Amino acid sequence: MSALQPTALESALLNEFHTLYAKDGFPGPREISLLRRDNTGGGRYVELSSPCSNMAQDGYLDLGGKYIDIGGVPNGMMAVVLISKGQPKVLEITVYGGDNWDGNEREWALK
């Protein structure tokens, strides 16, 4: 399976997770490959792969209180990364509330 190129939003999110959790072993964005992307209407799942297995605890990491302010999504969005067997496995981006997101990365900002 060939790797996908990360979108601008995905790159920014992976960089933010690295900034927040590097001390816990979260790899840099260049050490993470994107294998698959699925827009769901209420968010996006991005399957990740990394040769790094440095994370001590499995589970979900969040943005540490930040959120994604994006055009067309009134309540904004959140993101988490699933860590399994010490590796980042899935980046999940989800809308807050019952809004829909078509996957279009309009003007956005991490706040």
pLDDT 10s digits, 19-34: 999 999 999 999 999 9
- pLDDT (0 to 100) of residue 56: 81
Question: CA-CA distance, 32 to 14, in Å (whole number)?
Answer: 9
Cβ of 60: how many Cβ atoms within 10 Å?
A: 10
- CB-based contact 7:29 (threshold 8 Å): no
Instruction: Tell me the DSSP string of 66-102.
Output: --EEETT-TT-EEEEEEEETTEEEEEEEEESTT----
pTM of the model: 0.94
pLDDT(8) > 80: yes
pLDDT (tens digit, 9 = 90+) per residue, 48-103? Answer: 999 887 888 899 999 999 999 999 999 999 999 999 999 999 999 999 998 999 99
- pLDDT (0 to 100) of residue 53: 76
- pLDDT (0 to 100) of residue 2: 57
Give the residues across from 93 on adjacent strands: 44, 79
